[in-house]
Structure 1
Amino acid sequence: MTFSISLRYRHWRYVWIPIAAAAMWFSTLLAMLIVWLAFGRPKYVSMEGSIAFISDIGASNVKPLFVTGCAITGLGFFLSLVVERYLRHSGRLMPNMRTRERVFSSLAILGSFIGGLGLLFLSIFDTKRYTQAHRICLLVFLVGVALSAIFSVIEYRWISKDFAEHRQVKTAYCAKAAIASILIVLAIGFAVALFSAPNAGAILEWTIAFGFTFYLLTFYYDLRLSKNVEKGTLTAQRLSQSNGSSLANPNMTQVV
């Protein structure tokens, strides 16, 4: 009984990471927006339009909050992918059955690391004092997160094809693909509007930023699938030996 209870709640060791990251990110953005509105929508030195960019507010007296929120969010994003990779490797999540999936998983982790660093440094090098450096870090953040999302979606697509019977895997893939696609399209619009239409760019930036919260929460769903799954249960070797079972696909042993 003790073992059963321990196994039942063991997944909470991991799922709090994306929850904490998403909560921190959302709270940071909301607090910054409230500060700007509460002070009568002041026009900061770095502002070009009438609507403040996140970085405009982040360069003001709330910079410590902005840096802290970015640091925790970036770290949580990176750790979410690392833990997901560990759970697949240890047999508590549906495994990567081919080398290519493991490669794309590693690339997704690398992208999250680059994106997380970009997020941290764009908050440190604020737009008021280090305009050029801030924009470079913003680009690094956007590209890193976008690449990480693309690699994750590709990996999840292949996993969902191997385990077509498990709708939860397909749900995770579809959620990631939908949110990532929307955010990438909005990011392209933001890049265009950044220099030509500041107010539209600011609105898009806030939309993308709050939308990133939902992408972070998709990892909560992913990691929660390890609930009640003992280590080693879902290894590639064990599943590939289950020919004809509901867990295995006859073509899963094929290696690319």
Structure 2
Amino acid sequence: MIILSLLIVFGPYVLFPILAALTWLGGILALLLLWVVAGKPRYQSDEASVVFISDVGATHQTLFIVICACVAGFYILSLFAERWLRHVDRLPTDLRKREVIFDWLAIVFCIIGSAGLVLLSAFNAFDHSTIHWTMTLVFIVGVALSAIFQSAEVWSLHKDHPDRKSLRRNSILKLTVVVVAVACAIAFGATYGVCGGNSTATSSHSAETCNSVTSAAAALEWTVAFILVFYFLTIAADLWPAGKSSPRYMRRLAKWQAKHENVNHLENDFTGRGAFDVYPERANWQAREQEMRREMIDRNTGAAYVGNGNSNNGTHPSSIDDNRYSMGSQTPMMRQV
């Protein structure tokens, strides 16, 4: 029911990263549960007390491949959806060439990382150890670079659309998630390398030490996997504002306002902001819908020169000379989207 409501109100785009997050979270929890229910076994004699996701995935390879393939598909669709929504002005448009470059680089590294994810599941850690861990590195680096370029794009957009506070917030949140994940991934690589991912004794470390260190490496791998869920949710946050620019949403809002205008004059409408009280002369919902669409496009393309959103009408943005500017909205329901 929740997914159906999101689909009706926001359209299918926001579902892609949400499905990626839910599929990945459900898959990781399923693998963890399978290992725990089986009695926390060591699948091979040289494994540590805490096994790697890769080892559980190798034991249940069909499930692991399905999980990784679905997540890779939803992840790629999420970034293409964002590119499309910016292209059709449903989200704040890229006003500088560098923002478009950042976006396409994010997509390229997303595809590379997704390919690594699928291949690491296809080449399991038991039979193809070298290929598996190489693809794991490709996956981690690809996703990290993709997220960094996404953060750079959204931060740059924030400077061209200063009235969109969500842009700055999303870029900081995304970069924070990436920094934490990369730090954990580096720690994982360092601890994994101490004993080569095994619990057996080496020339410089005892078996007990290797078991503890390799178990820590495995725990870090699980941690990175769970952090990835939050990264997918940051993409959902990027796409979420497109809900208020969808034709379906605007049509429903316009009809509601036209129906209730004479009752409460929109002082306490469901948006909580007296939306479109500034347009009392428009009595039919079709006109309201068209007005919403025009303003949405103007704001997302940086053409809505109406002040800075704080009643400072008449001010001049720094980029007015090159027809690239974006300030505040006169329409309360469209602010801070």
Q: Structure 1 length as normaliser, TM-score?
A: 0.89
Larger deviation: 131-140 or 216-225? Answer: 216-225
Per the alignment, residue 250 of structure 1 pairs with 318
- Give me the identity figure in percent: 34
Encode CA deviations 1:59-84: one digit per residue, 9 max, x unaligned: 11x21111000001111111111100
Structure 1 segment 1-256 matched on structure 2, within 5 A: 9=8, 11-45=10-44, 48-60=47-59, 62-196=60-194, 197-230=213-246, 239-246=301-308, 249-251=317-319, 253=322
Shift of 1:169: 1.5
* Residues 236, 109 of structure 1: alpha-carbon distance in 2 compared, 3 angstrom cutoff: farther
Equivalent AA in structure 2 for residue 222 of structure 1: D
Shift of 1:39: 0.9
Query: Separation in 1 of the partners of 2:108 and 2:140?
Result: 14
Larger deviation: 197-206 or 228-237? Answer: 228-237
Query: Separation in 1 of the partners of 2:130 and 2:300?
Result: 52
Query: Separation in 1 of the partners of 2:9 and 2:101?
Result: 27
Equivalent AA in structure 2 for residue 217 of structure 1: L
Shift of 1:48: 3.0
Aligned pair count reads 248
Shift of 1:112: 0.6
* Residues 23, 238 of structure 1: alpha-carbon distance in 2 compared, 3 angstrom cutoff: closer
Shift of 1:251: 2.3
Q: Is the 8 A contact 1:194 1:201 kept in 2?
A: yes
Query: Separation in 2 of the partners of 1:238 and 1:12?
Result: 18
Shift of 1:242: 3.1
* Residues 229, 195 of structure 1: alpha-carbon distance in 2 compared, 3 angstrom cutoff: same
Equivalent AA in structure 2 for residue 180 of structure 1: V
Shift of 1:178: 1.1
Q: Which has the higher Rg, Structure 1 or Structure 2?
A: 2
Q: Is the 8 A contact 1:91 1:235 kept in 2?
A: yes
Higher RCO (CA 8 Å, separation ≥ 6 residues): 1
Encode CA deviations 1:85-115: one digit per residue, 9 max, x unaligned: 1001100001111000000100000111000
CA RMSD between the two structures? 2.4
Larger deviation: 198-207 or 237-246? Answer: 237-246
Shift of 1:37: 0.7
Encode CA deviations 1:174-194: one digit per residue, 9 max, x unaligned: 211111111111111111111
Encode CA deviations 1:7-41: one digit per residue, 9 max, x unaligned: x9452311111111111111110011011111111
Query: Separation in 2 of the partners of 1:13 and 1:170?
Result: 24
Equivalent AA in structure 2 for residue 68 of structure 1: V
* Residues 57, 240 of structure 1: alpha-carbon distance in 2 compared, 3 angstrom cutoff: closer
Equivalent AA in structure 2 for residue 138 of structure 1: T
Shift of 1:244: 4.9
* Residues 123, 109 of structure 1: alpha-carbon distance in 2 compared, 3 angstrom cutoff: same
In structure 2, list runs of 5 or more residues that go unmatched: 1-6, 195-212, 248-292, 310-315, 325-337
Query: Separation in 2 of the partners of 1:215 and 1:184?
Result: 12
Query: Separation in 2 of the partners of 1:176 and 1:240?
Result: 24
In structure 1, list runs of 5 or more residues that go unmatched: 1-7
Q: Is the 8 A contact 2:298 2:304 kept in 1?
A: no
Shift of 1:46: 7.4
Query: Separation in 2 of the partners of 1:254 and 1:49?
Result: 61
Query: Separation in 2 of the partners of 1:31 and 1:16?
Result: 21
Q: Is the 8 A contact 1:108 1:148 kept in 2?
A: yes
Name the SS of the counterpart of 1:225 in structure 2.
helix
Name the SS of the counterpart of 1:30 in structure 2.
helix
* Residues 206, 249 of structure 1: alpha-carbon distance in 2 compared, 3 angstrom cutoff: farther
Query: Separation in 2 of the partners of 1:17 and 1:249?
Result: 36
Query: Separation in 1 of the partners of 2:301 and 2:38?
Result: 59
Q: Is the 8 A contact 2:17 2:74 kept in 1?
A: yes
Shift of 1:246: 3.8
Query: Separation in 2 of the partners of 1:245 and 1:39?
Result: 63
Per the alignment, residue 5 of structure 1 pairs with none
